[in-house]
């Protein structure tokens, strides 16, 4: 299957449900997972998935499968699932949860539970009790089923015929209920129970099918709404729609109309006011990725070879020696054995290892290995620098300043996601609120709140600057650039903050200000490395900001 994980991987992912699920049996649970995955990927409507269907002959599953076929006719869901593997897994999990919850509700509302209990009791009743109680069973069944479903008169007559001729044998010690060859009475009882079981199962399946149909309406509506909202969200916060799977389980509050209206509003502004997007792009270039040299150590096993002499190798003779090795004894020594008078001399030399023998010598190759450490340098791109954006949300920022500030926030959020850059928003008035702009799945509801909020209250930049300086000590933001957007109608900054800002400058951090005001505090602006001051009442103020920022590229 193209762009799909293997069934082995899928089985591992859902092993807990497949092995320990309490709904359906194991082969059917396995088929269910594979089937859902296949139809979500648009592969043969889940029919050809490599599992023997003979393993699961479940009438209930047949009803369930038809229901699921209908649910997943929705092309938006199929489109999203095809594009995103993690989203496919989440949809399967949602569906499995719905199936389990529905199964619990069906069993809890089972209108035939009392009859099922009676069936179980009669199915376990020994034959000898039928001799006296059979008429109670027939009467019970005749009330619940008409003659076309179960012929009570037929079974009444059969019991009357068989009981007199079977009673003595059933009550005797010779009767074996487990015998391979059944007596006619046992065959009759088994046939009656089988008919009853079939009728009860049919009623139960009909109830399940009807309940599934009703329950699926609510589930499918929620699923379709989720998919539509997710597709809509993906378009609003593109270009990171590829991460759409992360937003599947956002809180329901996010999908409120007001949330989408806020996102749509600033997406539209950003589309029309291209200068803001270009402004953010220019800010981004101030912290482009840099090249750094990295030294990497690695270990290798080095094998050395050498030649050594080995006296046990008989490749050449290099002298003589004394020994009792008969294989190397010189012929002159062997000659002592040929004379009875000198034989004793040979034996004595042999015992004393004093026989003159050849000295052999050979050379062999041996290998030794040692682990050695090497190092080499290579260049790599550092991650693009992070951003910390401080936005003044005081009452004096209402109107054009707030619109510029919010649109900047939306644009930076998109840039952070697109370029995988860390970005942090600190909004401040008399207090502060903090939002990670690069973690959309976690922060989108708070971003929506920020875009929807009214700017009011007084201005105190101290907490925001304090939080910024603290963030700069964290690994994620240690080399971040800081942009403060405000009208800068505020008191002077604390001296210790100014000193700490200077310390951060030594680490290449830069502090920028975007003043949207007629009367910004010039003393505060002097603290920043770059300042852009604009009168919000002027026409085309956004274009002017962008034009001035272009000078940073030169």
199-248 pLDDT tens trace: 998 999 889 888 988 999 999 988 888 888 777 766 666 544 445 555 56
Lowest mean pLDDT across 17-21, 52-56, 346-350: 52-56
| Whether residue 492 has pLDDT greater than 50 | yes
Phi, psi of 367 (to 5 degrees): -120, 135
Pairwise CA distance, residues 74 & 201, whole Å: 32
Pairwise CA distance, residues 56 & 58, whole Å: 6
Name which residue leads in pLDDT, 268 or 93: 93
User: Between the ranges 201-210, 246-255, 356-365, where is the mean pLDDT highest?
Assistant: 201-210
The pLDDT, as a whole number, for residue 158 is: 93
User: Between the ranges 307-311, 455-459, 502-506, 512-516, where is the mean pLDDT highest?
Assistant: 502-506
**Within a 10 A sphere around the Cβ of 46, how many other Cβ atoms?**
21
Average pLDDT over residues 488-511: 87
The pLDDT, as a whole number, for residue 252 is: 46
The pLDDT, as a whole number, for residue 551 is: 46
Evaluate the CA torsion angle 447, 472, 502, 464 in order and state its sign.
positive
Which pLDDT band holds residue 151 (cuts at 50, 70, 90)?
Answer: very high
Q: Count Cα atoms within 13 angstroms, Cβ side, for 40.
A: 27
Name which residue leads in pLDDT, 275 or 68: 68
| Whether residue 271 has pLDDT greater than 90 | no
Mean pLDDT of the chain: 79
CA 116, distance to chain mean position in Å, is 42
Phi, psi of 300 (to 5 degrees): -135, 150
Under 8 Å between Cβ of 277 and 270? yes
Question: Alpha carbon of 389 to those of 9, 109, 275, 486: distances in Å?
Answer: 42, 56, 18, 11
- The answer to whether the bond into 239 is cis (omega within 30° of 0) is yes
Helix (H) or strand (E) holding 59: helix 59-71
408-453 pLDDT tens trace: 777 777 777 777 778 889 998 878 889 887 777 677 778 778 877 8
Residue among 383, 411, 369, 347 nearest 549 (CA) = 411
191-204 pLDDT tens trace: 999 999 999 989 99
Under 8 Å between Cβ of 267 and 239? no
**Helix residue ranges, H only, 145-183:** 152-171
| Whether residue 57 has pLDDT greater than 50 | no
Residue 384 DSSP one-character state: P
Evaluate the CA torsion angle 332, 333, 337, 343 in order and state its sign.
positive
Lowest mean pLDDT across 65-79, 162-176, 371-385: 371-385
Pairwise CA distance, residues 325 & 354, whole Å: 10
| Whether residue 359 has pLDDT greater than 50 | yes
Domain residue ranges of the chain, discontinuous segments joined by +: 1-249, 277-286+383-553, 293-379
The pLDDT, as a whole number, for residue 547 is: 55
Q: Could you tell me what percent of the chain has a pLDDT over 90? A: 21
| Angle made by CA atoms 63, 68, 69, in degrees to the nearest 5 | 95
Under 8 Å between Cβ of 82 and 41? yes
Pairwise CA distance, residues 204 & 117, whole Å: 13
CA 525, distance to chain mean position in Å, is 47
Phi, psi of 187 (to 5 degrees): -65, -40
What strands lie across the sheet with 387-392, from one edge to the other?
432-436, 423-428, 387-392, 481-486, 511-516, 530-534
Helix (H, G, I), strand (E, B) or coil at 248: coil
Which pLDDT band holds residue 548 (cuts at 50, 70, 90)?
Answer: low
| Whether residue 101 has pLDDT greater than 60 | yes
Lowest mean pLDDT across 12-16, 27-31, 48-52, 550-554: 550-554
Helix (H, G, I), strand (E, B) or coil at 370: strand
The residues, ordered by sequence, that sit 6+ positions from 460 with a Cβ below 8 Å of its Cβ are: 428, 429, 430, 490
Lowest mean pLDDT across 9-13, 289-293, 388-392, 461-465: 289-293
The pLDDT, as a whole number, for residue 189 is: 93
Name which residue leads in pLDDT, 169 or 532: 169
Helix (H, G, I), strand (E, B) or coil at 161: helix
Pairwise CA distance, residues 230 & 441, whole Å: 12
The residues, ordered by sequence, that sit 6+ positions from 399 with a Cβ below 8 Å of its Cβ are: 536
The pLDDT, as a whole number, for residue 1 is: 43
Pairwise CA distance, residues 414 & 240, whole Å: 8
Lowest mean pLDDT across 94-98, 206-210, 256-260, 534-538: 256-260
Name which residue leads in pLDDT, 169 or 438: 169
Under 8 Å between Cβ of 460 and 490? yes
Evaluate the CA torsion angle 247, 248, 254, 257 in order and state its sign.
positive
Phi, psi of 338 (to 5 degrees): -80, -10
Could you name the CATH architecture of 277-286+383-553?
3-Layer(aba) Sandwich (3.40)
Pairwise CA distance, residues 136 & 150, whole Å: 15
* Rg for the chain, CA atoms, rounded: 44
């Amino acid at each position: 299957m193209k762009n799909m994980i293997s069934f082995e991987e899928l089985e591992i992912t859902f092993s807990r449900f497949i092995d320990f699920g309490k709904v359906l049996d194991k082969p059917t649970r396995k088929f269910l997972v594979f089937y859902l995955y296949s139809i979500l990927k648009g592969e043969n409507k889940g029919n050809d998935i490599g599992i023997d269907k003979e393993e699961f002959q479940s009438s209930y599953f047949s009803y369930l499968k038809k229901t699921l076929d209908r649910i997943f006719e929705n092309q938006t869901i199929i489109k999203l699932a095809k594009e995103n593997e993690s989203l496919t897994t989440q949809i399967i999990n949602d569906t499995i949860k719905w199936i389990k919850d529905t199964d619990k509700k069906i069993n809890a509302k089972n209108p035939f539970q009392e009859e099922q209990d009676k069936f179980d009791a009669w199915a376990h009743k020994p034959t000898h009790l039928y001799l006296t109680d059979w008429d109670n069973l027939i009467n019970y069944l005749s009330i619940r089923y008409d003659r076309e479903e179960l012929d009570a008169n037929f079974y009444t007559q059969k019991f009357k015929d068989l009981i007199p001729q079977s009673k003595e044998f059933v009550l005797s010690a010779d009767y074996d209920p487990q015998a391979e060859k059944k007596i006619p009475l046992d065959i009759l009882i088994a046939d009656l129970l089988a008919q009853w079981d079939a009728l009860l199962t049919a009623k139960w399946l009909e109830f399940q099918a009807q309940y599934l149909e009703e329950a699926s309406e609510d589930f499918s509506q929620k699923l379709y709404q989720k998919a539509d909202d997710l597709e809509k969200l993906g378009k609003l916060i593109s270009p990171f729609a590829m991460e759409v799977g992360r937003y599947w389980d956002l809180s329901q509050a996010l999908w409120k109309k007001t949330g989408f209206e806020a996102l749509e509003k600033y997406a539209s502004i950003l589309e029309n006011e291209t200068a803001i997007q270009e402004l953010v792009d220019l800010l981004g270039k101030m912290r482009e990725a840099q090249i750094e040299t990295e030294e990497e150590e690695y270990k290798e096993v080095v094998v050395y070879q050498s030649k050594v002499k080995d006296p046990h190798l008989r490749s050449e003779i290099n002298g003589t020696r004394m020994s009792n090795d008969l294989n190397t004894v010189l012929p002159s020594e062997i000659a002592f054995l040929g004379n009875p008078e000198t034989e004793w001399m040979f034996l004595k030399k042999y015992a004393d290892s004093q026989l003159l023998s050849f000295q052999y010598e050979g050379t062999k190759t041996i290998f030794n290995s040692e682990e050695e450490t090497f190092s080499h340098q290579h260049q790599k791109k550092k991650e693009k620098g992070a951003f910390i954006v401080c936005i003044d949300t005081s009452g004096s920022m209402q109107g054009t300043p707030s619109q510029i500030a919010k649109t900047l926030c939306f644009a930076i959020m998109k840039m952070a996601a697109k370029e995988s850059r860390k970005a942090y928003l600190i909004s401040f008035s008399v207090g502060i609120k903090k939002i990670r702009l690069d973690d959309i799945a976690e922060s989108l509801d708070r971003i929506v709140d920020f875009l929807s909020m009214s700017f009011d209250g007084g201005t105190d930049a101290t907490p925001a600057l304090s939080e910024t300086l603290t963030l700069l000590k964290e690994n994620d933001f240690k080399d971040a650039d800081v942009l403060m957007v405000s009208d800068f109608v505020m008191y002077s900054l604390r001296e210790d903050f100014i000193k700490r800002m200077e310390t951060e400058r030594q680490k290449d951090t830069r502090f920028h200000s975007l003043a949207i005001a007629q009367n910004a505090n010039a003393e505060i602006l002097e603290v920043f490395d770059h300042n852009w001051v604009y009168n919000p009442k002027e026409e085309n103020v956004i274009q002017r900001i962008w034009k001035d920022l272009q000078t940073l590229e030169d």
